[in-house]
Amino acid sequence: MDFLSEEFPVRSLLLGGFSFGSWVGLRVGCADARVSELIGLGIPVNSSEFTYLESCNKPKLIVQGTLDEHGAWEKVEQIVARLPGETRLVFVQDADHFFAGHLDELDQGICSWMVERHPELHKI
pLDDT value of position 122: 84
In a domain, 84, yes or no: yes
What pLDDT digit, counting tens, does each position of 38-79 carry? 999 999 999 999 999 999 999 999 999 999 999 999 999 999
Give yes or no for residue 124 having a pLDDT over 70.
Answer: no
Neighbouring-strand partners of residue 64? 91
CATH classification of the domain holding 87 = 3.40.50.1820
Query: Is 2 contained in some domain?
Result: no
Residue 59 counted as domain residue? yes
Is 4 a domain residue?
Answer: no
What pLDDT digit, counting tens, does each position of 103-120 carry?
999 999 999 999 999 999
Position 5 in a domain: no
How many angstroms separate the CA atoms of 11 and 77, rounded?
31
Q: Is residue 116 part of a domain?
A: yes
Instruction: Specify whether the CB–CB gap between 25 and 17 falls below 8 A.
Output: yes
Residue 6 in domain = no
Q: What 3 state SS string does 70-103 have?
A: CCCHHHHHHHHHCCCCCEEEEEECCCCCCCCCCH
**Domain coverage including residue 56:** 12-123
What pTM did the predictor assign?
0.95
Please state, in angstroms and rounded to a whole number, the distance separating the CA atoms of residues 64 and 32: 24
- Give the count of domains, the chain: 1
Within a domain: 1: no
